[in-house]
Every structure is written in C-alpha cells, then in structure tokens.
Homo-oligomer: A and B are copies of this chain.
Amino acid sequence: MTRSERTSYSLREIVERFGGEIAGDPDIRVRQVATLENANSDAIAFLANDRYLARLDTTRAGAVIVGKSARAATRLPRILCANPYAYFARVSALFNPEREPRPGVHAAAVVDASAAIAGDAEIGPFAVIGRNVRIGAGSVIGAGCRVGDDARVGSGARLLPNVTVYHDCVIGDRVILHSGVVIGADGFGIAMDEGRWLKVPQIGRVVIGDDVEIGANTTVDRGALDDTVIEEGVKLDNQIQVAHNVRIGAHTAIAAFVGIAGSAKIGRGCRIGGASRIAGHLTIADHVEISTCTLITKSIAQPGTYTGAYPFEPNSEWRKNAAQLRHLHELVERVRALEKKPAQPKRRKS
C-alpha cells in the first residue's frame, strides 16, 4: 500500500512533536500506523475504546497509543495521552502526508485568460477554469474539474478529479472536495402556475468556509436569492444533499445521505447520523445530535440526542406490529373506554 520508502520515527521523536508520555522503550522505531489486528512490528496501533482491550494481548504492533487509564493494560512500548484517536490522527498524518502539489497548469487544461491562478497551484488535465476565477496558493484542481466563472478557491484546497463548482461560488482555504461533488447547482426553486412549473432563477451563491471537507458525490445547491453557507470546519460525508439557503454551523459533522431541505439552519458542533432528513425552514440549536434515519420536522432549541427510526424485526413480527400501528389511535380509544368502565366493587369499597 505504500508508494515510497517511509521515514521511521522513534516514540521519543513522536512525543517531542505531539506531546504525551512514553511507557516502555522510547527508542522503538515505527514507520506506519495500523490496526491492532493487522499491525506488524514496524507499525504503531491505537486503542481508543476499552471494548477492544483484549486485542492488546494479541497484537503484533511495535507500539501502541493508549489512554492514560490503559497504562498497565499492556507491556508494549506505548504512548499515553488524553485522546488516543486524535493523537493517532496526528501520527498518521505524519506518516502519510498529502501528496505535494505539482505546480503549474497542465497542457490539457482550459483556463480562461482572466483567471488568476497562484503560481504554486496545480491545475490537472482536462480541468476547465472560467472567467475571473481565482485559485489560491498551493491548491490542487484535479483532472476534469470545472470551476465556473467568477468562482473563488482559497489556498491549500484540494479538488479531487471530476468536481464541479458552478459560477460565483466561494471555496475556503484547505477545503477538500471529493470526486463527484457538485457545488452551486440550482436549488429546487419552482413556482406552480396554472398547472405548469415555472423555474425560479437561483441567483445566490454557495459559500464554503475554511477547513471544510465534503465527501464524494455530495451536492450543495446555490441559494435562491441569498447564499447557501457552510461554515468553517464542517465535515460532510458522501452523497449528502444540502438544499438552497441552508446554513450549516461551524464544526458540525454530517454522515452520508443526510438531506437538508431549503433554508434550514443547523447549529455549530452538531452531529447528524446517516440518512437523516432536516425539513425546510427549521432551526437546529448548537450541539444537537440526530440519530441515523431520523426525520426532523420541527425546530430543535435544546442540545441533546433526537431519534426517530423504526426498529427492525424479523419480517413476520414486523408484519403483525406494523399492521397494528395503523390502528394505534383506535387502540388508544379502546383503552380509554376500558379506563372509563365503572370502578371495581372492591375498589369502591376501599
């Protein structure tokens, strides 16, 4: 899986960079990260969840990153830290740096003469860069990307191959857009007029803050009149749909297939499980968690976890229960009728 000889680091060198405490031999050298199950002796693994503690006994990893409470859980050389998963992320980024941009515009790209491309940016083959586009320092525009007229891409951004950015949109610094992402397509604005739909021009933009990452085939529609806004640090998984005039607050993370309908406002630091739906024109407070497959139909003012998914069962059980669900209201009436029956003789006496 490696494309080049990797540099090795001792635990001591790692701790000098990222902090933490070493238990065991500080001069052990590792050159890659791995899972506890599949690590070799030149790899460092991590334990972020005590559920997997037993794996420490069988791993062949050369070293591990663990929480301070796991200090005595293994004799392996180890780094003790407060947040093993975040620590691991840093170590992995050290071992697996992003590919460097190859500065320059590929001969097979089409770049409008009015575009301003930073000298050290990379524009891949078959990319198309429109009028007045600005691309910042060190950004990589992958093969086959389209960046529409008057759009702006910050510095250090990476557009993987086959990304489409419509005209006028704004992409912040260090933003990552994966293949198939479409930013700024027209929102679903239609007006019924005597049996036919009229298109409502979508003249807002999409504005994406710094350090946002957007997964493959996700779509973010441009605003109808005002802008659609994704604030800094938001992380979107694959195949999400963000409708026109949505605002997503900073550092919110959203899993695959989530749909956010028009003009919904999502708070900061929210976590939204896969395939959930947020109805239009709602407001979701900061730090709200929404479970997988949940439809949110009303604004949420309080942090907390909200859920609304049908529990699965063997089909034969589901059939019986789901059939009754269609009569739940009647069942409530029947219980009410039973409750209204006269009290029992014994109870009367008591």
Contacts and interface: CB of A to CB of B under 8 A. Distances in A.
Interface of A: 1, 3, 33-35, 37-38, 83, 85-86, 88-90, 92-93, 95-96, 106, 108, 110, 124-126, 128, 142-144, 146, 149-150, 160-162, 164, 166-168, 176, 178-180, 182, 185-186, 188-193, 195-201, 203-205, 211, 213, 215-217, 219, 221, 225-226, 233, 235, 237-239, 241, 243, 251, 253, 255-257, 259, 261, 269, 274-275, 277, 279, 290-297, 304-315, 317-329, 331-332, 334-335, 338-339, 341-342, 344-347
Contacts of A328: 321, 324-325, 328
B279 A292 contact: yes
Contact of A162 (B85, B146, B238): B146
Nearest to A98: B201
A167 to B, nearest CB: 8
Contact of A259 (B176, B275, B310): B275
Contacts of A188: 215, 235, 237-238, 255-256
Nearest to A321: B328
The 10 closest A-B pairs by CB, nearest first: A308-B312, A86-B193, A185-B216, A164-B179, A146-B161, A320-B329, A305-B315, A307-B318, A182-B216, A96-B201
Copies in the complex: 3
A191 B88 contact: yes
24 contacts: A3-B149, A33-B203, A86-B192, A89-B189, A92-B201, A108-B108, A162-B162, A164-B216, A176-B199, A179-B185, A188-B235, A188-B237, A196-B251, A215-B219, A219-B239, A241-B257, A243-B256, A275-B277, A294-B310, A306-B318, A324-B329, A324-B331, A324-B332, A342-B347
A241 B215 CA distance: 11
Of A83, A179, A195, most buried by chain B (CB within 10 Å of CB) is A179
Nearest to A297: B312
B193 A186 contact: no
B251 A185 contact: no
Contact of A335 (B161, B251, B335): B335
Contacts of A196: 211, 233, 251
B124 A125 contact: no
B85 A238 contact: no
